[in-house]
Amino acid sequence: MSSPCMRFLRSLSRPLSSPCTWMVFFSLLVLSGCSELVLLNPKGPIGETERFVIVVAFVLMLIVVIPVMIMAFLFPWKYRAGNVGAEYAPKWSFSAKIEAVIWIIPAIIVTLLGILIWNTTYAVDPYKPLESDKKPIEIEAVSLDWKWLFIYPEHDIAVVNELVFPTDVPLNFKITSDTVMTSFFIPQLGSQIYAMGGMETKLHLMAEEAGVYSGQNQQFSGEGYSYMHFKATATTPEKFSDWVAEVRGRDNSLDWQRYQKLQEPSLSYHPVTHFSSVAPDLFVSIIRQYHPHFGMDAHADDGHSMTETAQTAGSEGE
């Protein structure tokens, strides 16, 4: 008598003849990776809007993809050499109905996608503050080699490779880089945005559910790129206040000298580090290493103002 293990292995070698078997096999194949599809499991309003766009775009494109896949099997089967009953039309060259279908349907799909993307692009503009009756939390994020520094200017604390915030409270990020260009991204909250030296980009997010979410750099930035990840923890306002008090209780301040040491490249994952106080305007000082006049005019603190900044620098050179 064969063992259950051997019977199972033999069952795998039999052809998948039943349509139900094929459906189960395909479902298991697709669903096996659902735990990693964080973009389709958002925890904030921006992520939910982006998921809606992804799903609608996917469904609209299936209107074309599914018929094409069916015809890819149907046509060879119908017009195979052994099917003597199939219509034979060697001089056929044009069909108005087919032309109408292959042009009108894609045109409708592209139009619908264009309207959808146009509207949602403005709705989830990363520079657009989120509407809420609660006061936003200001967070300054600095991309380093190869770690993230988060400064909470209103709380006078800073943290390396850890981001903690309360749920249902808007987060106003100001982001820059003290290294090459990187990309700040918390997939389940939505909207990645680039961090660039000498510039400040902005991002507005919010978590509607408590949890620990993955944050990362999506832009390859050198040898230690794979270590540029952090945990983003959404918690209750009470627990957030307790966390802030705990960080403030540390005897570890972040002044310019300490920052310069922190700035040195880390060739492994940098452990979470808390700073109980931060030098005034440290974030601005980091940007002014590359853009000395940052914050001194109406345009300098706008991440969209690269052209204006370049023109100003050029006129000064003259």
Radius of gyration from C-alpha coordinates of the chain: 27
Q: What is the pLDDT of residue 290?
A: 95
Q: What is the pLDDT of residue 11?
A: 47
Q: What is the pLDDT of residue 302?
A: 47
CB 109 within 8 A of CB 68: no
CA-to-CA distance for 130 and 21, rounded, in angstroms? 47
pLDDT tens for each residue of 81-116: 888 888 888 888 999 999 999 999 999 999 999 999
Q: How far apart, in Å, are the Cα atoms of 251 and each of 68, 162, 254, 256, 257?
A: 65, 18, 10, 16, 16
What predicted TM-score, i.e. pTM, was given to this entire model?
0.77
What percentage of the chain exceeds 70 in pLDDT? 82
Q: What is the pLDDT of residue 87?
A: 84
3-state helix, strand and coil shares in percent for the chain, rounded to the nearest 5:
40, 20, 40
pLDDT band at 298; cut points 50, 70, 90: very low
Q: What is the pLDDT of residue 24?
A: 46
Mean pLDDT, all residues of the chain: 85
pLDDT tens for each residue of 161-203: 999 999 999 999 999 999 999 999 999 999 999 999 999 999 9
Q: What is the pLDDT of residue 85?
A: 84
CB 172 within 8 A of CB 127: no
pLDDT band at 297; cut points 50, 70, 90: low
- In order of their start, the domains of the chain are 38-80+94-124 (1.10.287), 137-309 (2.60.40.420)
Lowest mean pLDDT among 62-66, 153-157, 169-173: 62-66
CB 185 within 8 A of CB 214: no
SS3 202: strand
CA-to-CA distance for 244 and 247, rounded, in angstroms? 5
Q: What is the pLDDT of residue 81?
A: 85
pLDDT tens for each residue of 250-275: 999 999 999 999 999 998 999 999 99
